[in-house]
Structure 1
Amino acid sequence: MGTDRLDEVLDAAYDCLTRYGARRTTMDDIASAMGVSRSAVYQYVRGKDDAFRRLAGRLHEQALRRAREAATADAPYPERLHGVLAAKLDLVLQLAGDSPHGAELLDGKARLFGDICTAFTGELREVLTGLFSEAGTVAGATPGEAADICVALVVGLEGAPEPRGLLAPATEALAVGLLGTAAPARDG
Protein backbone atom coordinates (compact mmCIF):
# COMPACT_ATOMS: atom_id res chain seq x y z
CA MET A 1 0.00 0.00 0.00
CA GLY A 2 1.43 3.38 -0.98
CA THR A 3 1.99 5.39 2.17
CA ASP A 4 1.88 8.69 0.30
CA ARG A 5 -1.45 7.81 -1.29
CA LEU A 6 -2.87 6.63 2.04
CA ASP A 7 -1.78 9.96 3.55
CA GLU A 8 -3.70 11.71 0.75
CA VAL A 9 -6.80 9.67 1.60
CA LEU A 10 -6.45 10.55 5.29
CA ASP A 11 -5.86 14.23 4.48
CA ALA A 12 -9.02 14.20 2.35
CA ALA A 13 -10.91 12.43 5.14
CA TYR A 14 -9.78 15.14 7.57
CA ASP A 15 -10.90 17.84 5.15
CA CYS A 16 -14.33 16.20 4.91
CA LEU A 17 -14.51 15.67 8.66
CA THR A 18 -13.95 19.37 9.31
CA ARG A 19 -16.67 20.29 6.82
CA TYR A 20 -19.34 17.65 7.40
CA GLY A 21 -18.47 15.58 10.45
CA ALA A 22 -17.81 11.84 10.47
CA ARG A 23 -21.43 10.74 10.20
CA ARG A 24 -22.35 12.97 7.26
CA THR A 25 -19.17 12.32 5.27
CA THR A 26 -19.44 9.77 2.48
CA MET A 27 -16.81 7.90 0.51
CA ASP A 28 -17.86 10.03 -2.47
CA ASP A 29 -16.97 13.14 -0.43
CA ILE A 30 -13.52 11.76 0.34
CA ALA A 31 -12.97 10.77 -3.29
CA SER A 32 -14.13 14.17 -4.49
CA ALA A 33 -11.77 15.93 -2.06
CA MET A 34 -8.93 13.88 -3.55
CA GLY A 35 -10.08 14.33 -7.13
CA VAL A 36 -10.29 10.56 -7.72
CA SER A 37 -13.00 7.96 -8.09
CA ARG A 38 -14.56 6.28 -5.08
CA SER A 39 -13.10 2.95 -6.19
CA ALA A 40 -9.62 4.51 -6.07
CA VAL A 41 -10.15 5.42 -2.41
CA TYR A 42 -11.22 1.83 -1.65
CA GLN A 43 -7.73 0.70 -2.71
CA TYR A 44 -6.41 2.27 0.50
CA VAL A 45 -9.25 2.06 3.03
CA ARG A 46 -12.19 -0.30 3.53
CA GLY A 47 -14.68 2.52 3.98
CA LYS A 48 -15.16 5.85 5.67
CA ASP A 49 -15.06 4.30 9.16
CA ASP A 50 -11.68 2.76 8.35
CA ALA A 51 -10.47 6.10 6.96
CA PHE A 52 -11.52 7.95 10.11
CA ARG A 53 -10.02 5.31 12.42
CA ARG A 54 -6.73 5.52 10.56
CA LEU A 55 -6.90 9.30 10.65
CA ALA A 56 -7.52 9.31 14.41
CA GLY A 57 -4.67 6.85 14.86
CA ARG A 58 -2.30 8.98 12.79
CA LEU A 59 -3.11 12.19 14.67
CA HIS A 60 -2.81 10.54 18.07
CA GLU A 61 0.46 8.84 17.09
CA GLN A 62 1.92 12.14 15.89
CA ALA A 63 1.05 13.76 19.22
CA LEU A 64 2.48 10.80 21.11
CA ARG A 65 5.69 11.00 19.08
CA ARG A 66 6.02 14.71 20.03
CA ALA A 67 5.39 13.82 23.68
CA ARG A 68 8.07 11.12 23.63
CA GLU A 69 10.55 13.46 21.97
CA ALA A 70 9.87 16.11 24.60
CA ALA A 71 10.24 13.60 27.44
CA THR A 72 13.66 12.48 26.22
CA ALA A 73 14.97 15.87 25.12
CA ASP A 74 18.23 17.22 26.46
CA ALA A 75 16.50 19.86 28.58
CA PRO A 76 15.63 20.50 32.23
CA TYR A 77 12.78 18.38 33.56
CA PRO A 78 10.26 21.25 33.76
CA GLU A 79 10.81 22.01 30.05
CA ARG A 80 10.45 18.35 29.18
CA LEU A 81 7.25 18.15 31.22
CA HIS A 82 5.90 21.23 29.43
CA GLY A 83 6.66 19.63 26.06
CA VAL A 84 4.83 16.42 26.93
CA LEU A 85 1.75 18.30 28.14
CA ALA A 86 1.87 20.65 25.14
CA ALA A 87 1.76 17.67 22.77
CA LYS A 88 -1.57 16.56 24.27
CA LEU A 89 -3.01 20.05 24.49
CA ASP A 90 -1.96 20.95 20.94
CA LEU A 91 -3.71 17.85 19.56
CA VAL A 92 -6.98 18.85 21.19
CA LEU A 93 -6.72 22.52 20.28
CA GLN A 94 -5.82 21.75 16.67
CA LEU A 95 -8.79 19.45 16.21
CA ALA A 96 -11.23 21.72 18.02
CA GLY A 97 -9.84 24.80 16.28
CA ASP A 98 -10.10 23.41 12.77
CA SER A 99 -13.78 22.58 13.13
CA PRO A 100 -16.38 21.69 15.75
CA HIS A 101 -16.41 18.27 14.09
CA GLY A 102 -12.68 17.73 14.75
CA ALA A 103 -13.42 16.95 18.38
CA GLU A 104 -15.18 13.78 17.19
CA LEU A 105 -11.72 12.21 16.83
CA LEU A 106 -11.07 12.82 20.54
CA ASP A 107 -14.19 11.17 21.94
CA GLY A 108 -13.03 8.34 24.17
CA LYS A 109 -16.57 6.94 24.19
CA ALA A 110 -17.00 6.95 20.42
CA ARG A 111 -17.50 3.60 18.78
CA LEU A 112 -14.89 4.28 16.10
CA PHE A 113 -12.19 6.08 18.07
CA GLY A 114 -12.70 5.28 21.73
CA ASP A 115 -9.98 2.64 21.91
CA ILE A 116 -7.51 4.93 20.12
CA CYS A 117 -8.21 7.77 22.56
CA THR A 118 -7.98 5.46 25.56
CA ALA A 119 -4.72 3.93 24.33
CA PHE A 120 -3.29 7.41 23.67
CA THR A 121 -4.07 8.55 27.21
CA GLY A 122 -2.55 5.36 28.62
CA GLU A 123 0.62 5.77 26.58
CA LEU A 124 0.87 9.45 27.48
CA ARG A 125 0.58 8.43 31.13
CA GLU A 126 3.43 5.95 30.60
CA VAL A 127 5.60 8.68 29.05
CA LEU A 128 4.89 10.94 32.04
CA THR A 129 5.45 8.14 34.53
CA GLY A 130 8.82 7.45 32.92
CA LEU A 131 9.75 11.11 33.09
CA PHE A 132 8.82 11.31 36.76
CA SER A 133 10.62 8.04 37.49
CA GLU A 134 13.77 9.48 35.95
CA ALA A 135 13.43 12.91 37.56
CA GLY A 136 12.17 11.78 40.95
CA THR A 137 9.14 13.18 42.68
CA VAL A 138 8.61 14.85 46.00
CA ALA A 139 7.80 12.70 48.99
CA GLY A 140 4.24 11.47 48.98
CA ALA A 141 3.73 11.34 45.21
CA THR A 142 4.60 8.28 43.15
CA PRO A 143 5.59 8.74 39.49
CA GLY A 144 2.24 7.23 38.47
CA GLU A 145 0.31 9.63 40.69
CA ALA A 146 2.31 12.55 39.32
CA ALA A 147 1.47 11.40 35.79
CA ASP A 148 -2.24 11.17 36.68
CA ILE A 149 -2.15 14.71 38.07
CA CYS A 150 -0.55 15.96 34.85
CA VAL A 151 -3.08 14.22 32.62
CA ALA A 152 -5.94 15.62 34.70
CA LEU A 153 -4.45 19.10 34.52
CA VAL A 154 -4.06 19.12 30.76
CA VAL A 155 -7.59 17.72 30.30
CA GLY A 156 -8.84 20.56 32.49
CA LEU A 157 -6.95 23.12 30.42
CA GLU A 158 -8.57 21.86 27.23
CA GLY A 159 -11.82 23.64 28.09
CA ALA A 160 -10.30 26.75 29.65
CA PRO A 161 -10.19 30.13 27.96
CA GLU A 162 -6.68 30.71 26.55
CA PRO A 163 -5.40 27.23 27.44
CA ARG A 164 -2.02 27.71 25.74
CA GLY A 165 -1.38 30.76 27.89
CA LEU A 166 -2.20 28.79 31.03
CA LEU A 167 0.01 25.83 30.17
CA ALA A 168 3.32 27.49 31.11
CA PRO A 169 2.27 28.65 34.60
CA ALA A 170 0.47 25.34 35.18
CA THR A 171 3.62 23.43 34.22
CA GLU A 172 5.69 25.63 36.52
CA ALA A 173 3.31 24.84 39.39
CA LEU A 174 3.55 21.13 38.62
CA ALA A 175 7.33 21.30 38.49
CA VAL A 176 7.45 22.98 41.90
CA GLY A 177 4.86 20.69 43.46
CA LEU A 178 5.79 17.36 41.90
CA LEU A 179 9.47 17.66 41.05
CA GLY A 180 10.42 20.00 43.86
CA THR A 181 12.20 22.35 41.44
CA ALA A 182 12.35 26.07 42.03
CA ALA A 183 10.06 28.09 39.81
CA PRO A 184 11.94 30.31 37.38
CA ALA A 185 11.56 34.04 37.83
CA ARG A 186 8.71 35.32 35.69
CA ASP A 187 8.56 38.72 34.07
CA GLY A 188 5.61 40.94 34.77
Structure 2
Amino acid sequence: MGTDRLDAVLDATYDCLTRYGVRRTTMDDIATTMGVSRSAVYQYVRNKDDAVRRLAERLYEQALVRARRAAADTGLPHADRVRGVLTAKLDLVLELSGDSPHTAELLDEKARLLSDICTSFVGELRTLLTGLFTETGTAAGVRPAQAADICIALVMGLERAPYARELLAPASNALVAGLLGDAPAPSGH
Protein backbone atom coordinates (compact mmCIF):
# COMPACT_ATOMS: atom_id res chain seq x y z
CA MET A 1 0.00 0.00 0.00
CA GLY A 2 2.83 2.43 0.85
CA THR A 3 4.43 2.12 -2.58
CA ASP A 4 1.06 2.59 -4.27
CA ARG A 5 0.46 5.79 -2.32
CA LEU A 6 3.96 7.06 -3.07
CA ASP A 7 3.33 6.36 -6.75
CA ALA A 8 0.07 8.31 -6.47
CA VAL A 9 1.96 11.23 -4.90
CA LEU A 10 4.53 11.13 -7.71
CA ASP A 11 1.82 10.88 -10.36
CA ALA A 12 0.07 13.90 -8.84
CA THR A 13 3.39 15.74 -8.70
CA TYR A 14 3.91 15.08 -12.41
CA ASP A 15 0.40 16.29 -13.18
CA CYS A 16 1.05 19.50 -11.25
CA LEU A 17 4.41 20.02 -12.93
CA THR A 18 2.78 19.79 -16.36
CA ARG A 19 0.44 22.61 -15.36
CA TYR A 20 2.54 24.85 -13.13
CA GLY A 21 6.20 23.93 -13.35
CA VAL A 22 8.57 23.10 -10.53
CA ARG A 23 8.68 26.53 -8.90
CA ARG A 24 4.95 27.22 -8.94
CA THR A 25 3.81 23.75 -7.83
CA THR A 26 2.94 23.58 -4.13
CA MET A 27 2.25 20.77 -1.72
CA ASP A 28 -1.37 21.99 -1.67
CA ASP A 29 -1.51 21.51 -5.45
CA ILE A 30 -0.23 17.95 -5.12
CA ALA A 31 -2.70 17.16 -2.33
CA THR A 32 -5.63 18.70 -4.24
CA THR A 33 -4.72 16.72 -7.37
CA MET A 34 -4.72 13.54 -5.29
CA GLY A 35 -7.92 14.47 -3.47
CA VAL A 36 -6.27 14.18 -0.04
CA SER A 37 -5.08 16.52 2.66
CA ARG A 38 -1.64 18.07 2.55
CA SER A 39 -0.70 16.16 5.71
CA ALA A 40 -1.50 12.91 3.88
CA VAL A 41 1.06 13.81 1.21
CA TYR A 42 3.67 14.50 3.90
CA GLN A 43 3.41 10.86 4.96
CA TYR A 44 5.21 9.92 1.73
CA VAL A 45 7.47 12.88 0.90
CA ARG A 46 9.27 15.44 3.07
CA ASN A 47 8.41 18.43 0.90
CA LYS A 48 7.87 19.52 -2.70
CA ASP A 49 11.57 19.22 -3.55
CA ASP A 50 11.57 15.66 -2.24
CA ALA A 51 8.52 14.85 -4.38
CA VAL A 52 10.14 16.34 -7.49
CA ARG A 53 13.43 14.49 -6.87
CA ARG A 54 11.66 11.19 -6.30
CA LEU A 55 9.62 11.73 -9.44
CA ALA A 56 12.76 12.45 -11.45
CA GLU A 57 14.49 9.41 -9.96
CA ARG A 58 11.54 7.23 -10.96
CA LEU A 59 11.44 8.57 -14.53
CA TYR A 60 15.19 8.26 -15.03
CA GLU A 61 15.24 4.78 -13.49
CA GLN A 62 12.47 3.64 -15.83
CA ALA A 63 14.54 4.88 -18.77
CA LEU A 64 17.63 3.12 -17.38
CA VAL A 65 15.71 -0.15 -17.12
CA ARG A 66 14.86 0.13 -20.81
CA ALA A 67 18.47 0.99 -21.67
CA ARG A 68 19.87 -1.92 -19.62
CA ARG A 69 17.39 -4.31 -21.20
CA ALA A 70 18.43 -3.19 -24.69
CA ALA A 71 22.15 -3.45 -23.89
CA ALA A 72 21.75 -6.93 -22.42
CA ASP A 73 19.75 -8.37 -25.33
CA THR A 74 22.48 -10.46 -26.94
CA GLY A 75 19.96 -11.80 -29.46
CA LEU A 76 20.03 -8.45 -31.24
CA PRO A 77 22.74 -7.09 -33.53
CA HIS A 78 25.16 -4.69 -31.87
CA ALA A 79 23.74 -1.64 -33.67
CA ASP A 80 20.24 -2.44 -32.39
CA ARG A 81 21.52 -2.78 -28.83
CA VAL A 82 23.28 0.59 -29.06
CA ARG A 83 20.18 2.17 -30.61
CA GLY A 84 18.08 0.70 -27.78
CA VAL A 85 20.25 2.46 -25.20
CA LEU A 86 20.04 5.72 -27.14
CA THR A 87 16.30 5.32 -27.63
CA ALA A 88 15.81 5.13 -23.87
CA LYS A 89 17.42 8.56 -23.49
CA LEU A 90 15.72 10.10 -26.50
CA ASP A 91 12.28 8.82 -25.45
CA LEU A 92 12.70 10.23 -21.95
CA VAL A 93 13.61 13.65 -23.31
CA LEU A 94 10.88 13.71 -25.96
CA GLU A 95 8.20 12.55 -23.53
CA LEU A 96 9.11 15.09 -20.88
CA SER A 97 9.47 17.97 -23.30
CA GLY A 98 6.35 16.92 -25.20
CA ASP A 99 4.03 16.68 -22.21
CA SER A 100 4.57 20.29 -21.20
CA PRO A 101 7.27 22.95 -21.35
CA HIS A 102 7.27 22.69 -17.56
CA THR A 103 8.06 18.98 -17.38
CA ALA A 104 11.15 19.64 -19.46
CA GLU A 105 12.48 21.22 -16.25
CA LEU A 106 13.05 17.64 -15.08
CA LEU A 107 15.79 17.41 -17.73
CA ASP A 108 17.78 20.43 -16.53
CA GLU A 109 21.16 19.07 -15.53
CA LYS A 110 22.12 22.52 -14.24
CA ALA A 111 19.19 22.70 -11.83
CA ARG A 112 20.35 22.41 -8.23
CA LEU A 113 17.60 19.96 -7.42
CA LEU A 114 18.23 17.52 -10.27
CA SER A 115 21.81 17.90 -11.47
CA ASP A 116 23.12 14.77 -9.76
CA ILE A 117 20.23 12.66 -11.10
CA CYS A 118 20.78 13.88 -14.67
CA THR A 119 24.56 13.44 -14.44
CA SER A 120 24.24 9.96 -12.99
CA PHE A 121 21.78 8.95 -15.72
CA VAL A 122 24.11 9.99 -18.52
CA GLY A 123 27.00 8.30 -16.69
CA GLU A 124 25.04 5.04 -16.55
CA LEU A 125 24.26 5.27 -20.26
CA ARG A 126 27.94 5.92 -20.96
CA THR A 127 28.88 2.83 -18.95
CA LEU A 128 26.38 0.68 -20.88
CA LEU A 129 27.60 1.96 -24.23
CA THR A 130 31.25 1.61 -23.27
CA GLY A 131 30.53 -1.99 -22.34
CA LEU A 132 28.88 -2.63 -25.68
CA PHE A 133 31.81 -1.17 -27.61
CA THR A 134 34.30 -3.04 -25.43
CA GLU A 135 32.43 -6.25 -26.22
CA THR A 136 32.53 -5.79 -29.99
CA GLY A 137 35.61 -3.66 -30.47
CA THR A 138 35.89 -0.30 -32.14
CA ALA A 139 37.56 1.16 -35.20
CA ALA A 140 41.25 1.87 -35.05
CA GLY A 141 42.03 4.91 -32.95
CA VAL A 142 38.65 5.02 -31.17
CA ARG A 143 38.46 3.84 -27.57
CA PRO A 144 35.17 2.30 -26.35
CA ALA A 145 34.58 5.22 -23.97
CA GLN A 146 35.07 7.66 -26.86
CA ALA A 147 32.60 5.70 -28.97
CA ALA A 148 30.11 5.91 -26.08
CA ASP A 149 30.62 9.67 -25.81
CA ILE A 150 30.10 10.08 -29.56
CA CYS A 151 26.82 8.13 -29.36
CA ILE A 152 25.61 10.23 -26.44
CA ALA A 153 26.49 13.39 -28.35
CA LEU A 154 24.47 12.09 -31.29
CA VAL A 155 21.34 11.50 -29.26
CA MET A 156 21.72 14.85 -27.48
CA GLY A 157 21.87 16.53 -30.86
CA LEU A 158 18.74 14.72 -31.99
CA GLU A 159 16.79 15.74 -28.89
CA ARG A 160 15.87 19.07 -30.45
CA ALA A 161 15.65 17.95 -34.05
CA PRO A 162 12.32 17.69 -35.80
CA TYR A 163 11.47 14.05 -36.45
CA ALA A 164 14.09 12.94 -33.91
CA ARG A 165 12.62 9.45 -33.51
CA GLU A 166 12.69 8.88 -37.27
CA LEU A 167 16.27 10.13 -37.53
CA LEU A 168 17.64 8.00 -34.69
CA ALA A 169 17.75 4.70 -36.59
CA PRO A 170 19.62 5.87 -39.69
CA ALA A 171 21.88 8.18 -37.68
CA SER A 172 22.80 5.54 -35.11
CA ASN A 173 23.27 2.85 -37.78
CA ALA A 174 25.69 5.07 -39.70
CA LEU A 175 27.52 6.09 -36.55
CA VAL A 176 27.84 2.58 -35.17
CA ALA A 177 29.03 1.26 -38.53
CA GLY A 178 31.84 3.78 -38.40
CA LEU A 179 32.70 3.02 -34.79
CA LEU A 180 32.80 -0.78 -35.02
CA GLY A 181 36.08 -2.60 -35.02
CA ASP A 182 35.59 -3.88 -38.56
CA ALA A 183 35.32 -0.34 -39.91
CA PRO A 184 38.24 0.78 -42.06
CA ALA A 185 40.91 2.78 -40.31
CA PRO A 186 40.68 6.50 -41.09
CA SER A 187 43.00 7.73 -43.82
CA GLY A 188 45.58 10.34 -43.06
CA HIS A 189 44.02 12.84 -45.48
Q: Per-residue deviation at 1:86?
A: 0.2
Unaligned runs of 5+ in 1: 183-188
The reply to whether residue 137 of structure 1 matches residue 127 of structure 2 is no
Q: 1:71–1:83: 8 Å Cα contact kept in structure 2? A: yes
Give the superposed CA RMSD: 1.2
Unaligned runs of 5+ in 2: 184-189
Q: Per-residue deviation at 1:113?
A: 0.5
Say which SS state the counterpart of residue 45 (structure 1) adopts. Answer: coil
The reply to whether residue 146 of structure 1 matches residue 150 of structure 2 is no
Q: Per-residue deviation at 1:181?
A: 6.4
Q: 1:175–1:181: 8 Å Cα contact kept in structure 2? A: no
CA offsets, 1:136-166, max 9 Å, x none? 1111111000000001110000011110011
Counterpart of 1:76 in structure 2: which amino acid?
A: P
- 2:187 corresponds in structure 1 to none
Q: 2:138–2:144: 8 Å Cα contact kept in structure 1? A: yes
Q: Which runs of 4+ in 1 moved over 3 A?
A: none
Matches of 1:95 and 1:128, distance apart in 2: 23
Counterpart of 2:105 in structure 1: which amino acid?
A: E
CA offsets, 1:45-73, max 9 Å, x none? 00110000000111011111110100011
Say which SS state the counterpart of residue 123 (structure 1) adopts. Answer: helix
Counterpart of 1:169 in structure 2: which amino acid?
A: P
Q: What TM-score does the superposition give when structure 1 sets the normalisation length?
A: 0.94
Aligned length: 182
Matches of 1:118 and 1:6, distance apart in 2: 24
Q: 2:140–2:181: 8 Å Cα contact kept in structure 1? A: no
The reply to whether residue 40 of structure 1 matches residue 40 of structure 2 is yes
Say which SS state the counterpart of residue 100 (structure 1) adopts. Answer: coil
Q: What TM-score does the superposition give when structure 2 sets the normalisation length?
A: 0.94
- Identity of counterpart residues, as a percentage? 73
Counterpart of 1:31 in structure 2: which amino acid?
A: A
- 2:13 corresponds in structure 1 to 13
- 1:122 corresponds in structure 2 to 123
